[in-house]
């Protein structure tokens, strides 16, 4: 039984994970931490992180970048492996993540879904064959109308996977409206669609002479991120200090 502390337990993802873990015989949330609490959880909730000294195997964080510095210090001090899912960290915070990973196990990923992380691995193999054979690579992502940033962090991470497989020789294009020229060989086009309540769709297109291969991932609910985070917490429990990725969780399966 993996004992988990849920940081940001009263937020959207914190509640998704509370629901998932309640149905999971191999995991238990032993405490929650959140700045706001209405006492509706089945586990004790601390509004002041320092007061939470409950014994646990791992901490899952879906909260706010404003909380990240104190959280990293807390986990390092308690030697508590941490699954860091909060996005929007500053350069300084990313450096602090690396420093903290010298003292305790840290897994950070902008997209916790096992599907997207598996897709990234598959894309690298595909790019090495297809891009080398002259196929053009394009990404189309679709999200709900409320999303503020474009393209999505996940689309950029997919592009980075493709580019890394091709020795980082490619550049990214987000808008072709201002130019009148054919696409560059070493270009990855990234297009963003916004509308309705689409949770998240990512399509990676390899377009070659007379044939096209498409990889598509669709998230139907935020539960996919929650499931990945719980898998990551189980993986991280008992691991020595170091920096871990979702790809490590997938490889261990
Ligand atoms: N990595 C992924 O796959 C993934 C997926 C979904 C969301 N996210 C990220 O996770 C974060 C949370 O997402 P959400 O949808 O649950 O947001 P949310 O706003 O619904 O929940 C955040 C929770 O954190 C709490 N919180 C804020 N500041 C805090 C602090 N200083 N200490 C403790 N608790 C604090 C809030 O009270 C709230 O309950 C965001 O950064 C989001 O981008 C990542």
Is 128 designated active site? no
Confidence (pLDDT) at 37: 93
The Å distance, Cα 61 to ligand 1 centre, comes to 8
Catalytic choice (3, 121, 147, 239): 147
Q: Which residue has the higher pLDDT, 149 or 216?
A: 216
| 147 assigned to active site | yes
At 149 the pLDDT is 80
The count of residues in the chain is 253
Can you give the pLDDT at residue 164? Answer: 97
Residue 162: its pLDDT value, please?
98
Ligand 1, pocket-test mutation among 14, 35, 64, most atoms within 8 A of CB: 64
Tell how far the Cα of 33 is from the centroid of ligand 1, in angstroms. 12
Closest ligand 1 atom to residue 9 Cα is 39
**What pLDDT does 159 receive?**
96
Interatomic CA distance for residues 187 and 210, integer angstroms = 19
> Residue 210's pLDDT is what?
96
- How high is the pLDDT of residue 3? 98
Q: Domain 2-108+222-252: state its class.
A: alpha beta
202 is in an annotated binding site: no
Percent of the chain with pLDDT over 70: 100
For ligand 1, say whether the CB of 68 is within 6 Å of any of its atoms: no
Judged by DSSP in three states, 31 sits in strand
Q: Per residue in 84-142, pLDDT tens?
A: 998 878 899 999 999 999 999 999 987 899 899 999 999 999 999 999 999 999 999 99
Q: What is the pTM of this model?
A: 0.86
Q: Please give the backbone phi and psi of residue 182, each rounded to the nearest 5 degrees, phi first.
A: -70, 160
pLDDT of residue 252: 86
Domain assignments of the chain as residue spans, ordered by start: 2-108+222-252, 114-219
Q: Which of 47, 82, 87, 97 to mutate to test the pocket of ligand 1 (most atoms within 8 A of CB)?
A: 87
Fold classified for 114-219: Dihydrodipicolinate Reductase; domain 2 (3.30.360)
pLDDT reported for residue 84: 96
Q: Is the CB of 34 under 6 A from ligand 1?
A: yes
Of residues 114 and 68, the one with the higher pLDDT is 68
Q: Is the pLDDT of residue 163 over 90?
A: yes
What pLDDT score does 211 carry? 97
Name the residue at shortest CA distance from atom 33 of ligand 1.
34
DSSP label of 65: G
Averaged pLDDT for residues 164-193 = 97
Q: What is the pLDDT of residue 44?
A: 97
């Amino acid at each position: 039984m993996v004992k988990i502390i849920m940081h940001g337990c009263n937020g959207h993802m914190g509640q998704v994970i509370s629901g998932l873990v309640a149905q999971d015989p191999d995991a238990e949330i032993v405490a929650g931490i959140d700045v706001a609490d209405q006492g509706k959880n089945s586990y004790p909730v601390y509004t002041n992180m320092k007061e939470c000294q409950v014994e646990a195997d791992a901490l899952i964080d879906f909260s706010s970048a404003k909380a990240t510095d104190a959280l990293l210090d807390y986990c390092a001090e308690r030697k508590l492996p941490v699954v860091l899912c909060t996005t929007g960290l500053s350069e300084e915070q990313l450096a602090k993540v690396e420093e903290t990973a010298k003292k305790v196990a840290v897994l950070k990923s902008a997209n916790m879904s096992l599907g997207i992380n598996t897709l990234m691995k598959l894309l690298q193999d595909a790019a090495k064959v297809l891009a080398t054979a002259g196929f053009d690579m394009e990404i189309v992502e679709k999200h709900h109308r409320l999303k503020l940033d474009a393209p999505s962090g996940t689309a950029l991470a997919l592009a980075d996977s493709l580019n890394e497989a091709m020795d980082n020789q490619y550049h990214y294009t987000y808008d072709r409206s201002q130019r009148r020229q054919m696409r560059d060989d070493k270009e990855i086009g990234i297009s963003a669609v916004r509308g309705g309540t689409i949770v998240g769709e990512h399509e990676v297109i390899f377009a070659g002479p007379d044939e096209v291969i498409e990889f598509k991932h669709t998230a139907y609910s935020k539960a996919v991120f929650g499931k990945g985070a719980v898998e990551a917490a189980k993986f991280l429990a008992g691991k020595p200090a170091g920096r871990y990725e979702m790809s490590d969780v997938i490889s261990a399966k």
